[in-house]
Amino acid sequence: MVVGRRKAFTLVELMIVLAIIAIIAAFAIPNLMKSRMSANETSAVGSLRALMSAQATYMNRHGVYGDLAGLLAERLVDASLGTGRKAGYRVGVLDTGSDFAYCFVSAPIDDGKSGEKEFCVTQQGTLYQANLDSTSMTVEGTAWTPGEDGVPSEFTTAPEDDSDNWTPINQ
């Protein structure tokens, strides 16, 4: 009498399937991470454009430019942007020393992983990008001082005068 043999996968077959899955993952994961970084960078630029628009409205209402807290209080920006973190990026404002000028900057929360580029915009309306080292940033809040709390000293309220670091983004 012949006993029926059960159909099952052998250990070798399972190992081959796992190896194929690992090879596919090795190709897919880096591309996925690059896509995510690109999306975060695009979101950071979009956030700065939203801040430009919000500042124009705030200036029309109050006669001066506002900070992130003021823009949030007026409901000109969403809550995540108003608190200084959105889509893998920190957003802050540099002190220009004037109520009639502003400089918003955006830096990746995890430089090299959530994004590679830093961005800024001033009241002149031009967006700039740079590739700075912001890995040591520990700043809390949205008011940033270059050179303090790891904020790169290359952050400037006049990026148009620093073409070594800042490049205008074609709009």
Domain span holding position 135 = 11-168
138 part of a folded domain:
yes
47 part of a folded domain:
yes
Beta bridge partners of residue 127, listed in sequence order: 121
Tell me the average pLDDT across 44-72.
90
The structural domain count of the chain equals 1
Predicted TM-score of the model (pTM) = 0.78
pLDDT at 124: 86
50 part of a folded domain:
yes
139 part of a folded domain:
yes
6 part of a folded domain:
no
| Distance from C-alpha of 79 to C-alpha of 82, rounded to nearest angstrom | 5
85 part of a folded domain:
yes
pLDDT band at residue 61, thresholds of 50, 70 and 90? Answer: very high
What are the CB-based long-range contacts (under 8 Å, 24+) for 30-33?
A: 33/113
pLDDT band at residue 20, thresholds of 50, 70 and 90? Answer: very high
73 part of a folded domain:
yes
pLDDT digits (tens, 9 = 90+) for 109-168: 887 788 888 999 988 888 999 888 888 888 888 888 888 888 888 888 888 888 888 888
Question: With pLDDT > 70 as the criterion, what percentage of the chain qualifies?
Answer: 96
DSSP states along 25-67: HHHHHHHHHHHHHHHHHHHHHHHHHHHHHHHHHHHHHHSS---
5 part of a folded domain:
no
